[in-house]
């Protein structure tokens, strides 16, 4: 049996097929690439805030009385023009006081005229007296009725002041809108008796609105913030947007000012942007209403920064690594330096050169040195152009 096994093994060894050496097959990876291009880029800064009115006023009664008339627009949510009448307080008592003040002024004016006549007659008589009979200056003033004339003049001034106060109180019985406004709330209505200092309504302006945005200290370098004298040129543009009924709506605004101090707890600087005609009341307005209290996202246009490369954020791997295609069409790992920004873009400040190809395709970390076949190619300039268009 052993001999038979040895013979069979020998025959199989002699008749074995010849061995062939095969070259290992290299798998080519198909990728999309983007060509790095350094350019001057304006980096937008993202923030969030709530729309608030520029001016809001609590209307308070300056006189007391019963409300005898209210406007048809005196309702919460109604729009008012500057000077529109909100309500009227019973003016009869104040009209009576106005008539009395007018009569007191007329009486004081008549008394002053009489005193002027008496003083003129007294001066004529004084001039006829012999010089030796003239006495002290005090005696002369009394003879010429100077104190009486000054008293009459003071009475005219007091009566005129009382008339002005009575006229003002009479005018205060009519409550009007101090500016173009919307009624936020009301605390009074027809037939109600109000006293001095009673709240009547709360209004806020509708000609413009503001949004207070928190900017982290690390992103302030990307913005052109106003100095002590404000902006010398145009204010940076701000794009506000929010989801309204499932559709993203945009509004244009301008960065107006900063609050000038850092928040002690969050270490952010609050900036304020202004929106003109937020409710779209102007005939030329084409934007939908941006109501007070709306929570909005903001994209603030940054200042131009040279020497940056814009790339999509999804291609950045942990450790700030990118896949770069070298001149031999091989994949290489490249560590880059990026600016700290949000959004779907990254901005490379160091680690890439002009013309280098960066892979847009997501690859496994084991692909170092793999050959690539480029399917599509674009430039980083298209990335920023698309961002500006958006």
The C-alpha angle 204, 210, 216, rounded to 5 degrees, equals: 145
pLDDT of residue 285: 76
pLDDT of residue 52: 94
pLDDT of residue 55: 93
CA 202 to chain centre: 21
Q: How many CA atoms lie within 13 A of 318 on its CB side?
A: 2
pLDDT of residue 133: 60
Tokens of residue 301, six digits: 């246009």
Tokens of residue 224, six digits: 């052109």
pLDDT of residue 297: 92
Which residues are bridge partners to 58 per DSSP?
A: 202
| pLDDT tens-digit series, residues 175-231 | 999 999 999 999 999 999 999 999 999 999 999 999 999 988 888 888 887 765 556
| pLDDT tens-digit series, residues 271-311 | 899 999 998 888 877 788 889 999 999 988 888 888 888 88
* pLDDT at position 389 over 50: no
| Average model confidence (pLDDT) across the chain | 84
pLDDT of residue 390: 42
| pLDDT tens-digit series, residues 85-143 | 999 999 999 999 999 999 999 999 998 888 888 888 777 776 776 666 656 667 676 76
pLDDT of residue 174: 94
Side by side, the strands of the sheet bearing 39-42 are 39-42, 304-312, 345-350, 337-338
CB-CB contact of 58 with 152 (8 Å): no
Percent of the chain's residues with pLDDT above 90 = 34
Closest CA to 297 of 106, 49, 44, 29: 49
How much is the average pLDDT of 362-367? 80
How much is the average pLDDT of 60-80? 92
CA 248 to chain centre: 19
Distances (CA, A) of 115 to 122, 145, 149, 341: 10, 8, 6, 83
């Amino acid at each position: 049996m052993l001999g038979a096994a040895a013979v069979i093994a020998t025959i199989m060894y002699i008749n074995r097929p010849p061995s062939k050496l095969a070259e290992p097959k290299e798998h080519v990876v198909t990728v999309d690439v983007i060509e790095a291009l350094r350019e001057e880029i304006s980096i937008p800064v993202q923030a969030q805030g709530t729309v608030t009115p520029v001016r809001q006023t609590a209307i308070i009664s300056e006189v007391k009385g019963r409300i005898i008339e209210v406007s048809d627009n005196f309702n919460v949510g109604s729009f008012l023009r500057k000077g529109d009448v909100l309500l009227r307080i019973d003016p009869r008592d104040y009209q009576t006081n106005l008539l009395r003040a007018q009569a007191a002024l007329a009486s004081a004016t008549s008394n002053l005229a009489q005193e002027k006549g008496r003083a003129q007659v007294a001066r004529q008589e004084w001039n006829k007296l012999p010089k030796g009979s003239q006495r002290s200056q005090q005696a002369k003033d009394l003879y010429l009725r100077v104190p009486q004339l000054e008293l009459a003049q003071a009475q005219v001034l007091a009566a005129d002041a009382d008339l002005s106060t009575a006229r003002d109180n009479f005018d205060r019985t009519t409550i009007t809108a101090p500016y173009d406004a919307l009624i936020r709330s009301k605390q009074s209505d027809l037939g109600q008796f109000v006293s001095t200092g009673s709240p009547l309504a709360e209004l806020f302006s509708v000609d413009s609105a503001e949004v207070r945005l928190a900017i982290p200290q690390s992103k302030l370098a990307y913005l052109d913030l106003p100095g002590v004298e404000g902006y010398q040129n145009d204010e940076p543009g701000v794009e506000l947007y929010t989801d309204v009924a499932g559709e993203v709506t945009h509004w244009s605004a301008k960065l107006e000012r900063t609050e000038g101090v850092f928040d002690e707890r969050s270490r952010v600087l609050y900036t304020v942007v202004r929106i003109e005609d937020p409710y779209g009341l102007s005939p030329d307005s084409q934007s939908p209403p941006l109501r007070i209290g709306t929570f909005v996202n903001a994209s603030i246009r940054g200042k131009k920064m040279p020497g940056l490369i814009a790339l999509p954020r999804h291609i950045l791997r942990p450790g700030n690594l990118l896949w770069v295609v070298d001149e031999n069409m091989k994949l290489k790992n490249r560590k880059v330096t990026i600016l700290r920004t949000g959004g779907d873009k990254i901005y490379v400040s160091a680690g890439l050169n002009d013309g280098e190809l960066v892979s847009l395709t997501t690859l496994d970390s084991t692909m170092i040195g793999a050959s690539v076949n480029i399917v599509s190619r674009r430039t980083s300039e298209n990335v920023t152009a698309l961002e500006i268009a958006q």
